[in-house]
Amino acid sequence: MISIERDGAVQIIRMDRVEKKNALTQAMYMDMADALKTEDESIRCHVMLGRPGVFTAGNDIADFLKAAMSGEGLEAGGVGKFLGALHEPSRPVVAGIDGPAIGVGTTMLFHFDMVFATENALFKTPFTDLGIIPEAGSTLIGPETMGYHKAFEMLALGESFTAEMAKEAGFVNHVVSPDELEDRVLAIAQKVASKPQNALRISRELLRGKREPLEKRIFEEIGLFAELLKSDEAREAFMKFMSKA
């Protein structure tokens, strides 16, 4: 469900569950976390992709609720491990988005170094519609990236953003055609991988700034998220959502 490929010094992490619109399970989160945290020093850049027509529909709701209500909770499971790996990947990450990028499919992008999207990409974070809050540190890094008002529109109001709107908001670098998406992403990833690694690492650390406040916010969100999941409001919202699925 997560396929891992290599293209020279580039590792390609691909969400590959097309029959479920790449809805993410705990096992998929774990596999992505392991890939991002690889100790293989020959890997110099990661690429994150879905399949043509779909990046990810977000969480597999049934799997997600099962994990959230388990004794371990979200922090100890695949979600927590992925978010831990996400906020400080040891190598640059370049993403290519075609089709829907829902929930964490959008918020993960705030952590990546470059993002390409097609005209078919659609970014939507329906957290409050489900009676929960945004995650992945997006309540901190979202306003920093796009300003408070755009962040409220996306993360609190849950409005959909097109690729051009996402580019204007600052979390997409380039809008390209579906036919050229993967070639463009891989070409940039190879360019990143070819750079002198120590200079690139230091430049990236300076650009990204201190990570401690973001890490703190990520796990603050997880705690509030878990509390809200137990509320009647969230329970009713999830039941309504699943009845439509």
Concatenating the DSSP letter of every residue in 8-51 gives: TTEEEEEE--GGGTTPBPHHHHHHHHHHHT---TT--EEEEE-B
CA distance 140 to 120: 27
Q: What is the pLDDT of residue 66?
A: 79
Q: What is the pLDDT of residue 167?
A: 98
Q: What is the pLDDT of residue 80?
A: 86
Tens of pLDDT along the chain (245 residues) come to: 999 999 999 999 999 999 999 999 999 999 999 999 999 999 999 999 999 999 999 998 888 777 777 656 666 678 889 988 988 778 999 999 999 999 999 999 999 999 999 999 999 999 999 999 999 999 999 999 999 999 999 999 999 999 999 999 999 999 999 999 999 999 999 999 999 999 999 999 999 988 899 999 998 998 888 888 888 888 888 888 777 66
Q: What is the pLDDT of residue 91?
A: 95
* Helix ranges restricted to H, the chain: 26-36, 61-68, 73-76, 78-86, 104-107, 138-146, 148-151, 163-169, 181-193, 197-208, 212-229, 232-244
Indicate the DSSP class of residue 72. Answer: S
